[in-house]
Amino acid sequence: MRRPVKKRNIPGPDVKFGDEMVEKLINYVMLRGQKETARKVVYAAFEVIKNDKEGGDPVEVFKTAMQNAGPLMEVRSRRVGGANYQVPREVRPERRTSLALRWIISGARGQKGVPMFKALAAEILLAAKNEGNAVKKRDDVHKMAEANRAFAHFAW
């Protein structure tokens, strides 16, 4: 049996919005320990969202995007009798947020020739409207889980 999850380090609220999810986003955007650069990128992206015509409060738009991009089900590999099965499983809330953040940021980094803050703002706005790369990735994961529903009885 797996041991219980250890107490994880939860980042404190960020300086500008006082929100823990925004600080987590900053930490995911950060490369090579350059937190101040990551902070500037995220705050510039939130400024773009605030000034956008269909954007409103950037933190609310970001939280909506996180809800839309986070998967509810995923498949995990399970070895049963010499064969590997893709068993659909529910996603824990911590993993759901980390996957959503990862997919939003990878979608933003995938846009070439665009400054990171603009790409991040665009990806967050698209995810808030149930569009974009992160939501497409979530839909692919859900389709995979739906296709392998027959193996749900192997769940552990």
Give every CB contact of residue 151 below 8 A, 6+ residues apart in sequence: 78, 85, 86, 87, 88
Under the banding of pLDDT at 50, 70 and 90, the label for residue 78 is confident
Q: Is residue 145 part of a domain?
A: yes
| DSSP, res 54 | S
Residue 79 has pLDDT above 90, yes or no: no
Q: Is residue 72 part of a domain?
A: yes
CATH code at position 93? 1.10.455.10
Q: Is residue 3 part of a domain?
A: no
Tally of domains in the chain? 1
Torsion angle defined by CA atoms of residues 110, 111, 112 and 118, in that order, rounded to the nearest 10 degrees: -130
Tokens of 8: 């994880």
Q: Is residue 135 part of a domain?
A: yes
Q: Is residue 101 part of a domain?
A: yes
Q: Is residue 38 part of a domain?
A: yes
DSSP for 57-120, written as a single string: -HHHHHHHHHHHHS-SEEEEEEEETTEEEEEEEEPPHHHHHHHHHHHHHHHHHTSTTS-HHHHH
Give the range of the structural domain holding residue 114, as residue numbers without chain letter.
Answer: 20-154
For residues 130-141, give the mean pLDDT: 92
Q: Is residue 110 part of a domain?
A: yes
**Residue 153: strand, helix, or coil:** helix
CA distance 113 to 41: 16
Residue 115 has pLDDT above 90, yes or no: yes
Helix axes 116-128, 58-69, angle to 10 degrees: 70
Q: What is the mean pLDDT of the chain?
A: 89
For residues 28-43, give the mean pLDDT: 95
Tokens of 150: 């027959």
pLDDT of residue 156: 63
Residue 155 has pLDDT above 90, yes or no: no
pLDDT of residue 55: 67
Q: Is residue 149 part of a domain?
A: yes
